[in-house]
Chain A
Amino acid sequence: GQSLEQPSEVTAVEGAIVQINCTYQTSGFYGLSWYQQHDGGAPTFLSYNALDGLEETGRFSSFLSRSDSYGYLLLQELQMKDSASYFCVRSGSARQLTFGSGTQLTVLP
């Protein structure tokens, strides 16, 4: 199958660090992406990992371990505007993307 597992909700306070985990099915796996979606908005791309390791983009980092079929998104120095849904997304054959069901992040003051 191509399912992904990620927590449905995470809550953290401003300034904190939060990690959103994602596990995926390995069949035909190419890479793992992360998208952010604010309420009422369109998903926007955050990061992509095709190889094992950490990719850093400002306050956000994404990690992939192909041997563990596992990845995570790390958000540092949380801000109120980071409150949103975060989707881990699996790239498979023929460049199809399979979205997880999303993690609703709430950042508290």
Chain B
Amino acid sequence: DVKVTQSSRYLVKRTGEKVFLECVQDMDHENMFWYRQDPGLGLRLIYFSYDVKMKEKGDIPEGYSVSREKKERFSLILESASTNQTSMYLCASSDLAGEDEQYFGPGTRLTVT
């Protein structure tokens, strides 16, 4: 079974803190993605990566950065957390080829106070 894991289900951080969200997939997938999900807005793509050490901005990259040092791991970094970054963060991975099926992790609900 495809498995995508995220480091935490729930996280509470203070404004200004640096926050790391980790994602690991065990399917040897080329592509990895970070989304945030907010009520009424669906999922919005923050960053994605097609290969190790490669990253591309999604639709809402401001305030975030990413790191992909190994194929199986994709990290999302909030350099200085703000209250408007309180959200559900979802990581996903997919094959290079195929029908665009993405496999999602369980999500991390981040609250910034």
A-B contacts, 5 listed (Cβ < 8 Å): A8-B40, A43-B43, A44-B104, A95-B31, A98-B45
Q: Which of A8, A48, A99 contacts B43 (CB 8 A)?
A: A99
CB closest chain-B residue, reference A88: B42
> Interface size on A (CB < 8 Å)?
23
**Which chain B residues in 19-76 approach chain A with CB under 8 Å?**
31, 33, 35, 40-45, 48, 50, 56, 58-59
Asked whether A102 and B100 contact (CB < 8 A) given A42-B105, A96-B48, the answer is no
CB closest chain-B residue, reference A44: B104
Q: Which of B100, B105, B106 contacts A97 (CB 8 A)?
A: B100
- Bound CA span A96–B33, Å: 9
- Bound CA span A42–B101, Å: 13
Interface centre among B44, B103, B104 (most CB of A within 10 A): B104
Contact of A71 with B by CB under 8 A: no
Asked whether A42 and B107 contact (CB < 8 A) given A31-B100, A99-B43, the answer is yes
Contact with B along A16-57 (1 / 0, CB 8 A): 000000000000001101000000011111001010000000
Contact of B99 with A by CB under 8 A: yes
- Contact between B100 and A87, CB atoms less than 8 A apart: no
B72 to chain A, nearest CB (A): 18
A84 to chain B, nearest CB (A): 14
Q: Which residues of B contact A (CB under 8 A)?
A: 31, 33, 35, 40-45, 48, 50, 56, 58-59, 90, 94, 99-107
- Bound CA span A38–B42, Å: 13
Q: Which 6 A-B pairs have the closest CB atoms?
A: A42-B104, A48-B99, A99-B43, A99-B42, A45-B101, A101-B42
Give every chain A residue within 8 A of B105 (Cβ-Cβ). 42
Give every chain A residue within 8 A of B94 (Cβ-Cβ). 95
- Bound CA span A46–B105, Å: 16
Give every chain B residue within 8 A of A8 (Cβ-Cβ). 40
- Bound CA span A50–B105, Å: 25
Give every chain A residue within 8 A of B31 (Cβ-Cβ). 95
